[in-house]
Amino acid sequence: MATLLYRLGAFSRRHFRTVIVGWLVLLGLATAGALGLSKPLSNTFEIPNAGYQQVFDRLQHEIPSASGGIGTVVLSTTNDTAFTAAQKRAVGQVIDEWSKLKGVREVRNPFQVEAQLTGAADQTKQARQKLDDGKAQLQAGEQRLASERAKLDAAQQQLDAQKAQLPKGFPTPPQLAAAQQRLDDGRAQLEAQSKKLQASKQQLQTGERDLALGERQVARSSALHVVSTDGTVALTQVQFVGSAQEVSTQTKDRLQEIGRTLAAQGVRADFSAEIVQDVSSVIGPGEITGIVIAGIVLLVVLGTLVAAGLPLLMSLVGVAVGIGASLTMTRFVDMNSVTPALALMLGLAVGIDYALFIISRHRTQLLAGMPREESIPRATGTAGTAVLFAGSTVIIALAALTVTGVPFLGVMGLVAAFTVAVAVLVALTLTPAVLEAAKHRIIPRRTWRKFGFTDRGEPRSDEGHLVESDEEAATHARSGWAGRVTRHPWLFALASVVLLAVVAIPAGSLRLGLPDGGSEAPNSTAHRTYSLTAEHFGAGANGPIIGVATLPAGLDTSAAEEKSLDVADQLATVTGVTAVVPFGMSEDRRTAAFQILPAEGPAEESTVATVEALRAAEPGIATATGAAVDFTGQTVANIDISQILSDSLPLYLGIVVGLSLLILVLIFRSLVVPLIATGGFLLSLAAAFGAVVAVYQWGWLGDLLGVNQPSAILSFLPTLLIGVLFGLAMDYQMFLVSGMREAHQHGQDARRAVLTGFDHGRVVVTAAALIMVAVFAGFVHAELTMIRPIGFGLAFGVLVDAFVVRMTLTPALMHLLGEKAWWIPRWLDRVLPNVDVEGATLSRTLAARAEAARHAEPAGRHTR
């Protein structure tokens, strides 16, 4: 492999103009594709065929008016007084404009809704009074009818008695016949009145049933208010045609622009995160600051603006090509807007590091007197081999995200892996070309002079140059950090493990979820919306749960509504539920929808318990009502996504660790070194989890790190941390331990080789780690809230992995193990291919070639 990369480096150096132009063409094509072919990024976090998604799809099909995403708008008066009539009219006009926007299904006027709710309650009271009056009148009529009937019966008895006194066969006298006729007419009138009373009674019974239904509906809606009790705050919801994440940025921006016009009327409009959050905005001051700090570190380490600028330039080219090409693919593949943020984060970090490794090797070789035309390909063949395999571990870890079964996470991993692959290609091709173009400017003039060269890197004499030998490197390292570690290996090993274990303690209470408006900045409109909603309408109004019931077949409209209310009554008895409001029914009366308000916000642990309690109550509700109930909504989706990702973690971790162990065994030809690397990674991963929980879930250092409301940890953060940190940890393992193996291969004993390898790699690994930390830490205050814990977790993970695990624990364990660290079964050593990651075979080949050349012709002048 080293020989192939040597040839690639030589080609790139000889044809440096062609290589540079080629990358510029690729950059242009990627940019053109991103600008001309890309489609708007999706903001959805969906898992097809998940329970919540199936329920949502059914709701969308059965009750289209009840489906679609929801964005909340909170309207408040700026002087904290109740809305005036003029302000209410202005709000109504704005709502009319909102309703006409593309992608918006409906926006309801909160004052009209509140009036309807209040009016419905008043109407039911009036209807109850009328019904009671009707019942009283019916009762009085029935009493009068009974009295008249009794009188008729008495008169009939008297008449019958008179008839009985007549002689047998004697004709009925006319006066008795007339009396009988009057009685018959009276009975007919009573019968007619009885029928009227019976009809009235049936009407009253029907009215009683309808009114009882209405009263139940009003009672269910009584917990729902959209105007605060003091009249200073009103809440409305923008119902979108699709999910809130699918709504275009243009529509969301227009919603806010129209809302801001209310300021002239003394009304402030605040919008929820679903409306204001633009997850495509991934570059902000924090990210730029991280890049600037990385540049400063490079300048300190490399000494010249040219040398410091090259790694930055390489990383920017790699990121631009990688992300540009990925955005072009959105024409054919749906991509989440968080995906470019992750690719940017990783692309910048590894792009800088990979270029830095090759540049550092090239500088070392130049100062040792190696000609530039030889140094560039040799640096590519040696350091480039380490870059290739280090990049491979990162790519494997990211590509393995596809096994989680979560499509958006799989795409995220593939795009990031592709960007890292581009960074590797840039390091192996463009970096040698640019090094040739930079010539001697890669090293400061004072450094050239210190090592016996002119300011342009030309040798001043044949006395040799001040380059440290392996023995001198080991001696130098013994007086530094590595020396202290290897003099007290047990102490440093135990201290490292204990430190990481203590930091990892909070990880035991890790709770997963997705961020809500409460986690936004306190002065943001999303946080104000969340806070005002919780204060005036209850915390649960920020994350309602949607219930979907399948009603029995054959019900008429009234029966279906009664059954729906029966289900609502059952749901309301579940622990943690504060209100249940039916809000839709399908045309065939088989599907009913409910808005269920939990006691607390969507990211709270109690809300998770409420969802679990609702699901546990499903069998009981089915038995009591004959209706099957399922649940969906963003709150339920967050819980389900978190659970699915949590369940996939063991498989993902096993695949990543297993495949990467194979690569490490192949590279280091040892069984022990890969185990040390993996064990150290698990310690640093646990510490990173612990730090993230302490900051973002417990709120430690929240003011410093911009954590406004501690909450659940981003559901896919553990998966990303596992993949990314493992790949980066193996980078540092590669660059430090490969130097140790190289010294060991050159004849040093195992313990001395630890010092030599550490001394050769410490500066570049320290710089690389600081650069990584700077880039990742730049995302701690990112515009996108959900990126912040990712940036912190990666920055902290890299910090402890590089300085505690790789530069403290690993040398201590390698020193304790001695020669045992390089143990490998002979049969395995024979079957493993020789990848020559240290370039030993390449060095021998080139040395033999140089020796032959010296015998063939006199040495000539070389340039640097």
Q: How many Å apart are CA 484 and CA 814, to the nearest integer? A: 14
In this structure, the answer to whether residues 397 and 339 fall within a common structural domain is yes
- 534: buried, middle or exposed (CB in 10 Å: 19+, 13-18, 0-12)? middle
The residues pairing with 75 across neighbouring beta strands, listed in sequence order, are 234, 269
Average pLDDT (164-170) is 76
Q: Is the CB of residue 701 less than 8 Å from the CB of residue 852?
A: no
- Decide which of 632, 653, 681 is a domain's last residue: 632
Output the pLDDT for position 491: 95
Output the pLDDT for position 469: 53
746 has a pLDDT exceeding 80:
no
Task: Please list the helix, strand and coil fractions of the chain in percent, rounded to the nearest 5, in that order.
Answer: 70, 5, 20
In this structure, the answer to whether residues 121 and 226 fall within a common structural domain is yes
The model's pLDDT over 767-801, given as tens digits with 9 standing for 90+, comes to 888 888 888 888 887 766 777 898 899 999 999 99
Domain that holds residue 601: 545-632
- 190: buried, middle or exposed (CB in 10 Å: 19+, 13-18, 0-12)? middle
Within a domain: residue 528?
A: no
Lowest average pLDDT, out of 167-176, 619-628, 690-699, goes to: 167-176
672-692 and 634-668 helices, crossing angle to 10°: 150
Q: CA dist 585 to 361, 558, 562, 580, 630, Å?
A: 71, 12, 12, 15, 15
Q: CA dist 502 to 512, 640, 723, Å?
A: 21, 31, 23
In this structure, the answer to whether residues 159 and 12 fall within a common structural domain is no
Q: Is the CB of residue 609 less than 8 Å from the CB of residue 616?
A: no
The model's pLDDT over 257-282, given as tens digits with 9 standing for 90+, comes to 999 999 999 999 999 877 886 544 54
Q: Which of 578, 513, 583, 573 is nearest to 546 (CA)?
A: 583
Output the pLDDT for position 811: 93
Residue 154: which CATH number? 1.10.287
Q: Between residues 169 and 409, which one has the greater pLDDT?
A: 409
In this structure, the answer to whether residues 326 and 420 fall within a common structural domain is yes
Q: Is the CB of residue 269 less than 8 Å from the CB of residue 73?
A: yes
In this structure, the answer to whether residues 786 and 765 fall within a common structural domain is yes
The residues pairing with 239 across neighbouring beta strands, listed in sequence order, are 70, 106
Q: Which of 754, 372, 764 is nearest to 380 (CA)?
A: 372
Within a domain: residue 798?
A: yes
Average pLDDT (429-452) is 86
Within a domain: residue 55?
A: no
Top mean pLDDT of 29-38, 349-358, 399-408, 622-631 is at 622-631
Output the pLDDT for position 346: 84
pLDDT band at residue 84, thresholds of 50, 70 and 90?
Answer: very high
Output the pLDDT for position 303: 77
Top mean pLDDT of 283-292, 700-709, 790-799, 850-859 is at 790-799
The model's pLDDT over 497-529, given as tens digits with 9 standing for 90+, comes to 999 999 999 999 988 877 777 777 777 888 899
The model's pLDDT over 18-42, given as tens digits with 9 standing for 90+, comes to 999 999 999 999 999 888 887 766 6
Within a domain: residue 757?
A: yes
Cβ atoms within 10 A of the Cβ of 281, count?
13
Output the pLDDT for position 859: 46
In this structure, the answer to whether residues 29 and 69 fall within a common structural domain is no
Q: Is the CB of residue 357 less than 8 Å from the CB of residue 383?
A: yes
**CA–CA–CA angle 733, 763, 728 (5° rounding):** 30
- In total, how many domains does the chain have? 3
The model's pLDDT over 538-578, given as tens digits with 9 standing for 90+, comes to 888 888 899 999 999 988 888 888 898 899 999 999 999 98
DSSP one-letter string for 460-507: S-SS------HHHHHHHHHTSHHHHHHHSHHHHHHHHHHHHHHHTGGG
3-state secondary structure of 546: strand
In this structure, the answer to whether residues 763 and 840 fall within a common structural domain is yes
Output the pLDDT for position 837: 63
Output the pLDDT for position 839: 60
Q: Is the CB of residue 615 less than 8 Å from the CB of residue 652?
A: no
3-state secondary structure of 392: helix
Within a domain: residue 534?
A: no
476 has a pLDDT exceeding 70:
no
User: At a CB cut-off of 8 Å and minimum separation 6, what does 408 contact?
Assistant: 44, 45, 46, 336, 339
Which tokens belong to 33? 């594709």
In this structure, the answer to whether residues 609 and 667 fall within a common structural domain is no
DSSP one-letter string for 298-326: HHHHH-SHHHHHHHHHHHHHHHHHHHHHH
- The single-letter code of the amino acid at 392 is S
Which tokens belong to 537? 């309408």
Within a domain: residue 521?
A: no
- Decide which of 213, 245, 276 is a domain's last residue: 276
Lowest average pLDDT, out of 70-79, 457-466, 822-831, goes to: 457-466
Within a domain: residue 340?
A: yes
3-state secondary structure of 655: helix
Q: CA dist 846 to 6, 251, 695, 840, 850, Å?
A: 10, 64, 53, 10, 6
Dihedral (C-alpha) 498, 500, 506, 512: value to the nearest 10 degrees?
A: -150
Residue 564: which CATH number? 3.30.70.1320
**CA–CA–CA angle 185, 186, 187 (5° rounding):** 90
Lowest average pLDDT, out of 165-179, 297-311, 831-845, goes to: 831-845
| DSSP classification of residue 589 | S
pLDDT band at residue 863, thresholds of 50, 70 and 90?
Answer: very low
pLDDT band at residue 423, thresholds of 50, 70 and 90?
Answer: very high
Output the pLDDT for position 861: 47
Q: Which of 252, 248, 249 is nearest to 73 (CA)?
A: 252
In this structure, the answer to whether residues 725 and 777 fall within a common structural domain is yes
474 has a pLDDT exceeding 60:
no
Q: CA dist 380 to 257, 374, 423, Å?
A: 54, 10, 14
In this structure, the answer to whether residues 272 and 374 fall within a common structural domain is no
- Decide which of 585, 616, 632 is a domain's last residue: 632
620 has a pLDDT exceeding 90:
yes
Q: Using the structure block, give the residue that is written with the tokens 């003394």.
A: 266
Output the pLDDT for position 860: 46
In this structure, the answer to whether residues 487 and 395 fall within a common structural domain is yes
Q: CA dist 636 to 543, 550, 630, 808, Å?
A: 9, 18, 10, 44
In this structure, the answer to whether residues 308 and 354 fall within a common structural domain is yes
Within a domain: residue 51?
A: no
Element containing residue 676 per DSSP (H, E): helix 672-692
